[in-house]
Structure 1
Amino acid sequence: MHIEQLRDYCLSKPGVTESCPFGPEILVFKVAGKMFLLTPLDSQPLSFSAKCDPEYAVELRERHPNTIKGAYHMNKRHWNEVVCNGELSDGVLENLISHSYELVVAGLRKQDREALKRA
């Protein structure tokens, strides 16, 4: 996966916006104003931080120690850093992004979730 694929996939989700609130080198994706993914624009290979269910996060880190770890500067219980080094397929990476998006959406107010369904 490269940065354009990551961006296109994130923006394909209902209600997603992108911005650079931490400076021009970090791209952030939000749904209903809540962050679900961030990526440094200059990382080689591409990496991103995504929200994750805490138990699933531990499982992923144990299974993929060279690719998934606790996210830098984030709550490591709830956020993983994923390195796109070729170990995980694009489909698996998309599943991790979707998982993050869905966790954030599940935490939204009911009216905000309903609005996303209509979008």
Structure 2
Amino acid sequence: MTPDELRAFCLDFNDATEEFPFGPDVSVFKVAGKLFALSWLESEPLRVNLKCDPDDAVRLREEHPAIAPGYHMNKRHWNTVSVGELPDRMVRELVEDSYDLVVAGLPKAVRLRLDRP
């Protein structure tokens, strides 16, 4: 997955936006104002921080050397994923899981507006 593909995939979700609050090198992807992905799109290797269920986060780190505790994030809820070291399908699933976790924490009215259960 290339940086452009990662950006396009993140922005394809309902109400997803890209912001640069930490400078031009760090893309922050949000839904309804809440962070679901953070990436250094120009980094080698390409990495992205993603929200994750705490139990799944530990399991994923144990099973995949390309997944580490979230860099500069709450290590219990966030993972840093080295994108090129995992199958694209898995990266997409992890991004979607992160988006869904954030949406699940939004007020019901916002979730309904996003058409996500």
TM-score, normalized by the shorter chain, greater than 0.5: yes
CA distance in 2, matches of 1:27, 1:92: 20
User: How many residues are paired up?
Assistant: 116
CA distance in 2, matches of 1:106, 1:46: 27
Q: 1:93 aligns to what?
A: 91
Let me know the Cα RMSD of the aligned residues: 1.1
Q: 1:112 aligns to what?
A: 110
Question: Is 1:36 the counterpart of 2:67 in the alignment?
Answer: no
Letter aligned with residue 71 of structure 1: G
- Secondary structure class of the residue paired with 1:10: helix
TM-score (ref. length: structure 2): 0.96
Q: 2:70 aligns to what?
A: 71
Q: Which runs of 4+ in 1 moved over 6 A?
A: none
- Secondary structure class of the residue paired with 1:81: strand
- Displacement of 1:72: 1.2
- Displacement of 1:81: 0.1
Q: CA-to-partner distance for each residue in 1:57-100, whole Å, 9 max, x for gaps?
A: 000000012x00001110000000000233x2100000000000
**Which ranges of structure 2 fall in alignment gaps of 5 or more residues?**
none
Q: Percent identity?
A: 53
Q: Say which of 86, 99, 102 aligns to 2:100.
A: 102
**Which ranges of structure 1 fall in alignment gaps of 5 or more residues?**
none
Q: 1:46 aligns to what?
A: 46
- Displacement of 1:42: 2.6
